[in-house]
């Protein structure tokens, strides 16, 4: 993709759904997160907190319930580019969701 374009955040991030919901994909460009999550939290919790605590905060409209499992036994730290942190989480669920989602058009993650 040419420079200056929206980055690709994996096949489970639905850019079209985000645009249709009047979301602004530019919030993901040049956005960083530095976050510590407590023991017992999940990827679901982490992604919600990314929206609240990133350098450029943003609302999250939809997250898959699959992100609520498993819970972290220990705390978890995220630091770096927001898009890379999101992709790092979503890639974990790729094999499972690629089987579970063919009939569903709902994205795993959609921002607004």
* Residue in 112, 100, 37, 18 with CA at minimum distance from that of residue 64: 100
Find residue 80's DSSP bridge partners: 33
Would you state the pLDDT for residue 11? 56
Q: Average pLDDT across each block of 10 residues of the chain; the chain has 112 residues. List them in order.
A: 49 66 72 94 95 88 86 94 87 58 46 50
Residues 96 and 101: their CA atoms lie apart, in Å, by 9
Would you state the pLDDT for residue 105? 47
Q: What is the pTM of this model?
A: 0.70
Q: What is the DSSP string of 52-70?
A: HHSSS---EEEE-GGGG-S
């Amino acid at each position: 993709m040419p420079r200056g374009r929206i980055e690709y955040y994996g096949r489970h991030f639905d850019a079209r759904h985000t645009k249709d919901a009047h979301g602004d994909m530019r919030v993901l460009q040049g956005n960083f997160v530095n976050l510590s999550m407590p023991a017992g939290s999940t990827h679901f919790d982490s992604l919600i907190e990314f929206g609240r605590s990133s350098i450029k905060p943003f609302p999250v409209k939809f997250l898959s319930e699959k992100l609520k499992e498993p819970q972290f036994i220990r705390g978890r730290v995220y630091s770096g580019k927001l898009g890379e942190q999101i992709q790092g989480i979503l890639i974990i669920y790729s094999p499972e969701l690629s089987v579970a989602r063919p009939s569903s058009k709902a994205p795993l993650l959609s921002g607004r």
